[in-house]
Amino acid sequence: PIPEASESERDALGALAQRAQELHMRRRALVEDFLRAIGQPPASSNSRNPLETPWRLSEEEFTRRRSAKFISHFRAARDETATLTEEIEALEAEIDARVAGLYGIG
């Protein structure tokens, strides 16, 4: 069964979800800008391409896939997307905790 939530709780969850979605979209835009900057059209890429997740790559992993001349683009993309990813994960953890609380499990 789906638990009842107060209007304020629904509003809070909705706001958290909206903010997480906005951050996901911002991160995606940064990734697409990064891919273009290093000569990888976003349309020709896919989610299995490690360059799609620069926040997970080390500099060594990046330079195995692309020229070191793009390292400044990589560093900027990695740092910006890592920060956004941390914010996204914190929001998603808060959403999970609130939903678990509604179900009485947590």
Q: What is the pLDDT of residues 64-91, one digit of tens each?
A: 999 999 999 999 999 999 999 999 999 9
Query: Contact at 8 Å (CB) between 30 and 22?
Result: no
pLDDT at 2 over 80: no
Does residue 84 sit in helix, strand or coil?
helix
- What is the residue whose two structure tokens read 């920060």? 83
pLDDT of residue 56: 98
Residues whose CB falls within 8 Å of the CB of residue 73, separated by 6 or more in sequence, listed in order:
34, 37, 38
pLDDT of residue 64: 97
Q: What is the pLDDT of residues 33-60, one digit of tens each?
A: 999 999 999 999 999 999 999 999 999 9
Per-residue tokens: 23: 């951050």
Mean pLDDT of 11-34: 98
For the chain, the domains span 7-101
Centre a 10 Å sphere on the Cβ of residue 45 and count the other Cβ atoms it contains: 14
Centre a 10 Å sphere on the Cβ of residue 100 and count the other Cβ atoms it contains: 11
